[in-house]
Chain A
Amino acid sequence: QVQLVQSGAEVKRPGASVKLSCKASGYMFTSQYLHWLRQAPGQGLEWVGIIHPSGGSTAYEPRLHGRVTMTRDTSTSTIYLELDRLTSDDTAVYYCARAKGPERWPVDAFDIWGQGTVVTVSS
């Protein structure tokens, strides 16, 4: 079945970097855009960025621009999110999600979600 499987929980010190992964299966990886979102404890959902799995184009939430990098590996159908210079405000559950489609850039509804990765930033 169609699914997105994310990497495990991370605990990081302030100022460090974190790299998360999200492996897609059950559909053609290059056919639909993929996104990262996050949800801080007790808060709503926040969009982080989008990547075009085929061409690798990206767009990011302006407030995070300069600290976030999204990449993909088409050979393993996996996307990555790297977030630098972490602060306690980055503590959240991070989700990858598939765009509902077709081809709305940079935002869309999300029809398939990963299980989430907990990132904790603490000294």
Chain B
Amino acid sequence: EIVLTQSPGTLSLSPGDRATLSCRATHNVDKNYVAWYQQKPGQPPRLLIYAASIRATGIPDRFSGSGSGTDFTLTVSRLEPEDFALYHCQQYGSSQGSFGQGTKLQIK
């Protein structure tokens, strides 16, 4: 089983800042099949990025994904007030997918 570790657990930034969220896997993720989701309180997750770097439909271009192998990154280039939320990474390259524990992005 591939275990995903997200860091930091909590990230405190201000609107306009750049956010960098990390997701590290215990083993290589096949075909870099990593997805990122944003979740706000009381709402379901929303797909942001899939296959490590492809933005989902309707996602603003301030969100970008990168990485390969075991290290993956979600970057938000310039934070908007609505970006403060919980972010999850997921790997679906192995037959048993898995999620990280989440990074909470909060206003400083």
Contacts and interface: CB of A to CB of B under 8 A. Distances in A.
Nearest to B45: A113
17 contacts: A45-B37, A45-B90, A47-B99, A95-B44, A95-B45, A100-B35, A106-B95, A107-B92, A107-B95, A108-B92, A108-B97, A109-B35, A109-B92, A111-B47, A113-B45, A113-B46, A116-B44
Interface residues of A, number: 20
Given A104-B92, A109-B35, A44 B101 contact: yes
A45 B88 contact: yes
B69 to A, nearest CB: 18
A114 B46 CA distance: 11
B102 to A, nearest CB: 6
Contacts of A108: 92, 97
Nearest to B31: A104
Contacts of B35: 100, 109-110
Nearest to B49: A109
B95 A111 contact: no
Interface string B10-46: 0000000000000000000000010101000000111
Given A104-B92, A109-B90, A111-B56, A44 B44 contact: no
A73 interface: no
Contact of A109 (B44, B47, B95): B47
A123 to B, nearest CB: 26
A81 B94 CA distance: 24
Contacts of B100: 44
B97 A47 contact: yes
Interface in B87-108: 88, 90, 92, 94-102
A115 interface: yes
A46 interface: yes
B50 interface: yes
A46 B44 contact: no
A44 B92 contact: no
Contacts of A47: 97-99
Contacts of A43: 101
